[in-house]
Amino acid sequence: MVEGGKSVLELLNSDFEIVTVVALDEFLQEHGERIPSGTEVINASAGDLKGLGEFQSNDAGLAVARVKPNKTLGIEENEFALVLDDIRDPGNLGTIIRTADWFGISKVIASNESADFYNTKVLNASMGSFTRVKIYYTDLITYLGETDKPLFGTFLKGESVHECNFGSGGLIVIGNEAQGISSEVERFVTKRITIPGFGKAESLNAAIATGIVLDNLRRRRS
Amino acid sequence: MVEGGKSVLELLNSDFEIVTVVALDEFLQEHGERIPSGTEVINASAGDLKGLGEFQSNDAGLAVARVKPNKTLGIEENEFALVLDDIRDPGNLGTIIRTADWFGISKVIASNESADFYNTKVLNASMGSFTRVKIYYTDLITYLGETDKPLFGTFLKGESVHECNFGSGGLIVIGNEAQGISSEVERFVTKRITIPGFGKAESLNAAIATGIVLDNLRRRRS
């Protein structure tokens, strides 16, 4: 289920199969023709929408779509993808999806213990990017054991992300919010990188680190 | 109120006046000597801690301290500080405080409409950085009208943050989560900067943008 005009419109523009749209009169009048035939459409009040969803206020609508099957993602030779080593917080996962989309990264490999992509908080925080970024949940150790792609990981000690040569493609692993990259996954890391710090904070939030690494990757590659 | 061993220890290391510590036996045995005399100390169970706070689990303790008075912050000639133009989400504010601390930025000027620094969600998301980063809430328009410092702001169109010359000091304004930088604040911006995007996301989360701007600032200045 996604909430709010922006996310519902993104869903209508995507290849997701939409089951139900619940929306205000105004939204249905303006966008009704974009709703595929066969979709259940329910006219609702703003109060109904608030009661159904997580938003404090929703002056547009919400929609229910079918989840996609969990399918492996082929990563091209010159492509970068994210690997999530137990991102547990739904808000963090949604923000990481949105950030990946900003930087043109459309594939995410997630450990089975990571937050559920279809959690409403994840979808909301992704701000519609869930329609463009694909995720594949798997056993990371098995997955990483079978790939020969470079694996970049952020640690407190490593090469500065400002100087890192990312090459033409590979996987960027993002560690768990509390533990960072697990020792089992660390074994597969081929390049250790560091975001230089200048203060006394012990670490950065996982989504912030993702944004900074991807910005440097795009800067170094463009 | 702050929760969890890390935040309580950061508080004990800070100049905040602590009123009460509620903690498990183990925490009090290990760290009790660091609690100032005169502080109310309450021995509690993990269940008590969970009931009192926001954490799903807390195997250490929590502490209550006095808020500091809202005082203006002098910004040095060669210093950078953040300006928050209505950051409403407590999690975002806490993450911005943590990120500022990582990059050695210790002063934040916030609009009166921004989230409350002393909200438990802000303090928790800051991961202890609330003890090192000072905040001053004020009417931004009046404040900006009285300063002659450079004001950097992120927009969809502007100079690439990869090329920006930040000079030796100034203010970096972070816009509201939904509306970005308001037109009233935009009038004071002296340098418009852009984080180059490569995908289809419309924008970045405010805290992510903060992290990327500060990383580029430190890279360009070091």
What pLDDT, on the 0 to 100 scale, is given for residue A54?
86
The residues of chain A scoring below 70 in pLDDT are 222
Tokens found for residue B36? 């100032």
Q: Report if residue A73 sits inside a domain.
A: no
From the CB of residue B149, how many other CB atoms can be counted at a distance below 10 Å? Answer: 18
Same-domain status, A192 and A91: yes
Same-domain status, A39 and A84: no
Same-domain status, A145 and A52: no
Give the Cα separation of B84 and B87 in Å (integer): 6
Per-residue pLDDT of B69-102, as tens digits, reads 999 999 999 999 999 999 999 999 999 999 999 9
DSSP secondary structure code for residue A14 in this structure:
S
Tokens found for residue B2? 């702050």
Domain count, chain A: 2
Inter-chain CB proximity B127 and A202 less than 8 Å: yes
| Category of A167 on φ-ψ map: left (φ > 0), alpha (ψ -120 to 50) or beta | left
Same-domain status, A129 and A183: yes
Bridge partners (DSSP) of residue B153 are B173, B192
Q: Which of B10, B127, B208 to mutate to test the interface with A (most CBs of A within 10 A)?
A: B208
Alpha-carbon distances of B66 from B20, B122, B170, B193, rounded to whole Å: 10, 16, 31, 38
Among A65, A92, A112, give the residue marking a domain's end.
A65
Total residue count of chain B as it appears in this document: 222
**Which residue in chain A is spatially nearest to B98 when comparing CA positions?**
A201
Same-domain status, A146 and A208: yes
What pLDDT, on the 0 to 100 scale, is given for residue A26?
96
What pLDDT, on the 0 to 100 scale, is given for residue B194?
97
Q: Report if residue B70 sits inside a domain.
A: no
Among A183, A214, A171, smallest CA distance to A81 is for A171
- ipTM of the prediction: 0.94
Decide if pLDDT at B222 tops 80: no
Same-domain status, B26 and B100: no
Q: The tokens 């109060």 sit on which residue?
A: A47
Query: B95 vs chain A: nearest CA distance in angstroms?
Result: 7
Same-domain status, B107 and B195: yes
DSSP secondary structure code for residue A141 in this structure:
H
Decide if pLDDT at B44 tops 90: yes
Name the helix (H) or strand (E) containing A43: strand A40-43
Which domain range does residue A55 map to?
2-65
DSSP B108-136: EEEETTSPPTTSHHHHHHTTTGGGT-EEE
Among A32, A65, A98, give the residue marking a domain's end.
A65
Tokens found for residue A132? 């463009």
Among A34, A65, A96, give the residue marking a domain's end.
A65
Chain B residue numbers with beta carbons less than 8 Å from the beta carbon of A92 are none
Give the Cα separation of A210 and A105 in Å (integer): 11
Same-domain status, A9 and A49: yes
Chain B residue numbers with beta carbons less than 8 Å from the beta carbon of A91 are 91
What is the dihedral angle through the alpha carbons of A73, A81, B90, A117, rounded to the nearest 10 degrees? 0
Q: Report if residue A54 sits inside a domain.
A: yes
Same-domain status, B113 and B161: yes
Interface of A with B (CB under 8 A): 91, 95, 98-106, 125, 127-129, 132, 161-162, 195-205, 207-212, 215-216, 218-219, 222
Chain A residue numbers with beta carbons less than 8 Å from the beta carbon of B212 are 211-212, 215
Per-residue pLDDT of A142-193, as tens digits, reads 999 999 999 999 999 999 999 999 999 999 999 999 899 999 999 999 999 9
Give the Cα separation of B81 and B64 in Å (integer): 28
Q: Report if residue B71 sits inside a domain.
A: no
Decide if pLDDT at B68 tops 90: yes
* CATH number of the domain to which A125 belongs: 3.40.1280.10
Tokens found for residue A70? 């969990």
Per-residue pLDDT of B168-203, as tens digits, reads 999 999 999 989 999 999 999 999 999 999 999 999
Decide if pLDDT at B130 tops 90: yes
